[in-house]
Amino acid sequence: MNPQNELPVLIILFAPLIAAILSLIGKFLPPRYSITPAFLVWLGGSLWALYAAAPAILYGQSLTYSLGGWAEPYGISLSVNGLTWIATLTDIVIASAAWLATRGYRRFGALFYFFFFMALFSLQGVLCSRDIFNLFVWFEVLSLSSIILISYDRSLSSRLAAIRYLLISSLSIIFFLIGVWILYRLTGSLALTEIAQRLQSLNSAVVPRAFIGTLPVARVHSAAGLALALITAGILTRAAIPPFHTWLPDAHTAAPYPVSALLSGFVIKAPMIALWRIFELIEFPQLMEGLVWLGGVTAVWGVAAAMVQKDAKKLLGYHSVSQMGYILAAFGIGGVIGRSAALFYIIAHALFKSLLFLTIGHVTTRVGTRNVYKIRGLRRFFPFYTVAFLIAAASISGLPLLAGFTGKVLVSKALHSHPAYLMLIAAGVGTAASFVKLSAIFFGTASDEHLLTLESRPTEDRGSKTAAGEAHFGLLVISAGCIAMGVVPRLIHHYILLLLHGRAALPPSIEIGWYSSGTLLKAGVSIGGGLLLALFLLSPFGKNLAHRARAMSVGLNGSLRLMVAGLLLLLFLSLL
Amino acid sequence: MIKKFFTIITVLLFALMVLPLLRQIAPFEELAPVAAAYAEQGPDQLGAANLVTSVIVTYRGLDTLGEVTVLFIATAGVGFLLRRDEEDQLPGDGVPRETPREASELLGSGSMLLFPLLMLFGVYIFLHGHLTPGGGFQGGVVIASAMLLLMLARVSFHLNHLIISLVESLSGFFYVAIGVLGLILAAGFLDNRILPLGEFGTLLSAGAIPIIYSLVGLKVGTELTNVLGTMRLTRTQQEEDV
């Protein structure tokens, strides 16, 4: 226990809370004196804390703070390790860009920024907590604050989406809580480290019977397996993994676009980090194998739904689902390369997906419609946004020299011998097709109707000129990140490994072959296939087919049934 | 018919899968180690006669802070989402509403008698949270129910949202502030030992626990009252408020 190690943890966790309280004071003050300082306090505090925490983490330690001085298992421990560190940095970048974009979007009140920072506060809690019940509390704060952010435009559709999210996330948290209860009954503790230790002694009493391939695997105590499956179902709902994903497309479409960028960019990744922190302590091979397959299914399911969408933001929402599949599959396969691939892809996806939402959100708000088939020729009106969009779209489609390409190389390295990888390849082709279709809104000639709406509004952003500049700055930083991850992947991957394992335990370097002929060929084939598929999608026949596919959307009842089916599947997996 | 069939199948499958729980989870015969440690050391360490309270407020204080936050956000959300703008059109709009009827004599007089008692009871519950069963959450709910009684009994009753919000925000702020004081004066965030533990079992004991629980009680009470108030407001009253 030394203050040098504890202070950064406290500041990383509480900086957003302080910012939230400061922005609430903005009810009584002009925004310049409350909202901007709140942002700066949060940004400065968090960055300083990350800087202060870095040396210890590079030496493979994790910084732990036990609440009120009560060590685990009596109290709650928060800890910052390499994983949390990287995730926090990603969160800071995405949230800053989203915050900057809110200023150009419209004049939000103090309350909006309060909920914004509360969401960031709970995200930090999810990233830092090492206590399973505490994790539940943070998930609750996170879902409630994101629900309010989603419905902030207060249109009927956004309220419906928010209610749907509320119902689905409440059901998921019930799964989670039942799992926590079983774990507590089995182990008598809520601290993850303690639970892991007790489970190990429970497992060792069970005869190994399960096999993965030909390897005998230690069988997990079956009640503990059920508990972990329930907890996983709860967390996967928050990460929008099919069949628990049905809330996401509506919610991310209805939210104001800077909020969508934060939600898709980071809020759905944080549960993955929580899952990671649970399963780095507790071994559960059957479930991990199931997650690899689920990841493949997720990628294909999401992309299939995305390709037929007409609403630009909904299309992006389904792509978030699909991209989570890559992360889940890489996470499930595990090992040094699998886990680092998952984290690399989390960062890459956070960057390009938030960039996509910020650019598409901005231009569609200005045009006044989100119909992908109708809008054309925006390139002339938004040159800056067009370039930023193209960087992001090329990233997600896997074009070389950008973040998505290197992310996919790493994931394929981790998964290459696994049959589920074929599904990821198929999803890659679909993704490219879908983004060719979406890019069409920037090219061609604009229709008169849209020219009129654009010309009747002020020439640049609705906010002031500085607000527009701030939003551009955010986009610039994220675009630079996308390019950096594509150009110097080796360096970034090296730092990820260094932060995850520490300098002393650094695993021997693995030859990835980032830009070998094989990876380039693969990218070429998937983009070529994507182009062909896109031509089909934009043809009258393809449009007709998409129209029919859209009619098959799932209602609330259907999504609850899907969730129950998914839960049954996970429970079954855990008993296998 | 087919739907029912599927439902039955699903329920059966669930039952099959949770079967191991029945076999493997035996009733507790002794306290789990963590619980035993709480029971043994709790009174000496924290000086609270009600052990549940010392777990909730101190050992697992961050959870409680989180729950209070959940409630705060939920209240703000209800207020935000139920507020209606001019352009909002809902089914039933345009139909003239019935003017609310005055409450009966019985309810009116009964509320006059019960209101002070309920308030007193609510305050008692959270002030004695460290001694007897109950605490901030329970006391707060009793206070809110007293306010509900008042709203039901008097049509003209007008809730002062400004005062309610002020009490709510201030108690939340002081809760966090006490947490930070713990960081400076005692072993860590939300440590109750910033004040002397006092004599075991008396009202002024257990360090900061009574203060924290009073703040929680005030906060929960005002929050729930706020929710009730928002739901009660008719459209015209909202317009007056804004």
Query: A138 to chain B, minimum CA–CA distance in Å?
Result: 7
**pLDDT, tens digit (0-9, with 9 covering 90-100), for B177-192:** 888 887 777 777 777 7
- Residues in chain A closer than 8 A to B81 (CB atoms): 148, 151, 154, 159, 162
Q: Would residue A89 count as lying in a domain?
A: no
Is some CB atom of chain A closer than 8 A to the CB atom of B22? no
> Mean pLDDT over all residues of chain A?
86
Q: Would residue A565 count as lying in a domain?
A: no
Please, which residues bridge with residue B64 across strands?
none
Query: Chains A and B: how many Cβ contacts under 8 Å?
Result: 125
Q: Would residue A238 count as lying in a domain?
A: no
Q: Would residue B181 count as lying in a domain?
A: yes
Say what the pLDDT of residue B93 is. 56
48-87 of A, contacting B, C-beta below 8 A: 65-70, 73-76, 78
- CB-hemisphere CA count at 13 Å for B175? 29
Q: Give phi and psi for B177, each to the nearest 5.
A: -65, -40
Share of residues in chain A with pLDDT > 70 (%): 93
Q: Would residue A107 count as lying in a domain?
A: no
Is some CB atom of chain B closer than 8 A to the CB atom of A219? no
Nearest to A151 among B20, B81, B176 (CB): B81
Say what the pLDDT of residue A395 is. 92
Say what the pLDDT of residue B242 is. 43
Share of residues in chain B with pLDDT > 90 (%): 4
Q: Give phi and psi for A533, each to the nearest 5.
A: -60, -35
- Residues in chain A closer than 8 A to B13 (CB atoms): 568
Nearest to B20 among A138, A226, A564 (CB): A226
Is some CB atom of chain A closer than 8 A to the CB atom of B191? yes
What interhelical angle do A82-105 and A110-128 show, nearest 10?
170
User: How many CB atoms lie under 10 A from the CB of residue A543?
Assistant: 15
When pLDDT is averaged across residues B71-100 and rounded to a whole number, the result is 68
- Residues in chain A closer than 8 A to B227 (CB atoms): none
User: Residue B31: in which H helix or E strand, if any?
Assistant: none
Is some CB atom of chain A closer than 8 A to the CB atom of B37? yes
**Residue A503 CB contacts under 8 Å (≥ 6 apart), including other chains:** A58, A59, A60
Nearest to A144 among B38, B59, B77 (CB): B77
In the predicted structure, residue B86 carries a pLDDT above the cut 60: no
Residue A217 in 3-state DSSP? strand
Nearest partner of A121 among A26, A12, A36, judged by Cα: A12
Is some CB atom of chain A closer than 8 A to the CB atom of B169? yes
Is some CB atom of chain B closer than 8 A to the CB atom of A188? yes
- Residues in chain B closer than 8 A to A19 (CB atoms): none
Is some CB atom of chain A closer than 8 A to the CB atom of B34? yes
Share of residues in chain A with pLDDT > 90 (%): 38
Q: Would residue A85 count as lying in a domain?
A: no
User: How many CB atoms lie under 10 A from the CB of residue A555?
Assistant: 10
101-140 of A, contacting B, C-beta below 8 A: 111, 114-115, 118, 125, 133-134, 137-138, 140
- Residues in chain B closer than 8 A to A170 (CB atoms): none
Q: Would residue A549 count as lying in a domain?
A: no
**Residue B190 CB contacts under 8 Å (≥ 6 apart), including other chains:** A67, A68, B57, B58, B61, B62, B65, B178, B179, B182, B212
User: How many CB atoms lie under 10 A from the CB of residue A495?
Assistant: 13
- Residues in chain A closer than 8 A to B191 (CB atoms): 68-69
When pLDDT is averaged across residues A480-498 and rounded to a whole number, the result is 91
When pLDDT is averaged across residues A241-246 and rounded to a whole number, the result is 89
Q: What letter does residue A78 receive in the DSSP assignment?
A: E
Binned at pLDDT 50, 70 and 90, residue B91 comes out as low
In the predicted structure, residue A207 carries a pLDDT above the cut 60: no
Is some CB atom of chain A closer than 8 A to the CB atom of B173? yes
When pLDDT is averaged across residues B100-111 and rounded to a whole number, the result is 81
Indicate yes or no: CB of A68 within 8 angstroms of CB of B63. Answer: no
Residue A85 in 3-state DSSP? helix
Q: Which is higher by pLDDT, B75 or A135?
A: A135
Say what the pLDDT of residue A1 is. 47
Nearest to A67 among B20, B62, B70 (CB): B62
102-161 of B, contacting A, C-beta below 8 A: none
Say what the pLDDT of residue A88 is. 94
Nearest CA in chain A to B182: A68
Binned at pLDDT 50, 70 and 90, residue A321 comes out as very high
Is some CB atom of chain A closer than 8 A to the CB atom of B171? no
When pLDDT is averaged across residues A495-517 and rounded to a whole number, the result is 84
Nearest partner of A150 among A169, A176, A174, judged by Cα: A169
Query: A456 to chain B, minimum CA–CA distance in Å?
Result: 23
Is some CB atom of chain A closer than 8 A to the CB atom of B59? yes
- Residues in chain B closer than 8 A to A67 (CB atoms): 61-62, 188-190
When pLDDT is averaged across residues A509-536 and rounded to a whole number, the result is 86
Q: Would residue B92 count as lying in a domain?
A: no
In the predicted structure, residue A357 carries a pLDDT above the cut 90: yes
> What is the DSSP secondary-structure string of A456-512?
HS-SS-SS-HHHHHHHHHHHHHHHHHHHHHHHSHHHHHHHHHHHHHTTTTPPPP---
Query: B109 to chain A, minimum CA–CA distance in Å?
Result: 40
Nearest to A138 among B10, B66, B73 (CB): B66
* Residue A419, domain extent: 286-538
Binned at pLDDT 50, 70 and 90, residue B236 comes out as very low
Q: Which is higher by pLDDT, A57 or B236?
A: A57
**pLDDT, tens digit (0-9, with 9 covering 90-100), for A7-16:** 888 899 989 9
Cβ contact A197:B33 at 8 Å: no
Please count the structural domains in chain A. 1
Nearest CA in chain B to A25: B169
Say what the pLDDT of residue A116 is. 93
Indicate yes or no: CB of A67 within 8 angstroms of CB of B69. Answer: no
**pLDDT, tens digit (0-9, with 9 covering 90-100), for A425-438:** 899 999 999 998 89
In the predicted structure, residue A78 carries a pLDDT above the cut 70: yes
When pLDDT is averaged across residues A109-121 and rounded to a whole number, the result is 89
Rounded CA gap, A198 and A181, in Å?
A: 15
Share of residues in chain B with pLDDT > 70 (%): 88
- Residues in chain B closer than 8 A to A564 (CB atoms): 10
Peptide bond preceding A489 in cis form (omega within 30 of 0): no
Q: Would residue A371 count as lying in a domain?
A: yes
Q: Would residue B8 count as lying in a domain?
A: no
**pLDDT, tens digit (0-9, with 9 covering 90-100), for A183-201:** 888 888 888 888 888 888 7
Please count the structural domains in chain B. 1
- Residues in chain A closer than 8 A to B70 (CB atoms): 137, 140-141, 144
In the predicted structure, residue A4 carries a pLDDT above the cut 70: no
Say what the pLDDT of residue A478 is. 92
* Residue B221, domain extent: 50-84+104-241
- Residues in chain B closer than 8 A to A226 (CB atoms): 17-18, 20-21
When pLDDT is averaged across residues A84-91 and rounded to a whole number, the result is 94
- Residues in chain A closer than 8 A to B21 (CB atoms): 182, 223, 226
- Residues in chain B closer than 8 A to A575 (CB atoms): 17, 20
Nearest partner of A150 among A252, A246, A20, A245, judged by Cα: A252
Amino acid sitting at position A371: N
Indicate yes or no: CB of A111 within 8 angstroms of CB of B32. Answer: no
Indicate yes or no: CB of B77 within 8 angstroms of CB of A133. Answer: no
When pLDDT is averaged across residues A485-491 and rounded to a whole number, the result is 90
Q: Would residue B159 count as lying in a domain?
A: yes
Say what the pLDDT of residue A460 is. 46
When pLDDT is averaged across residues A147-157 and rounded to a whole number, the result is 86
Which of A48-57, A334-343, A458-467, B39-48 is predicted least confidently? A458-467
Rounded CA gap, A11 and B148, in Å?
A: 40
Indicate yes or no: CB of B24 within 8 angstroms of CB of A186. Answer: yes
In the predicted structure, residue A547 carries a pLDDT above the cut 50: yes
Say what the pLDDT of residue B92 is. 55
Indicate yes or no: CB of A147 within 8 angstroms of CB of B173. Answer: no
- Residues in chain B closer than 8 A to A125 (CB atoms): 66
Nearest CA in chain B to A18: B176
Is some CB atom of chain A closer than 8 A to the CB atom of B18? yes
Say what the pLDDT of residue B35 is. 82
Binned at pLDDT 50, 70 and 90, residue A143 comes out as very high
Indicate yes or no: CB of A67 within 8 angstroms of CB of B10. Answer: no
Nearest CA in chain B to A149: B77
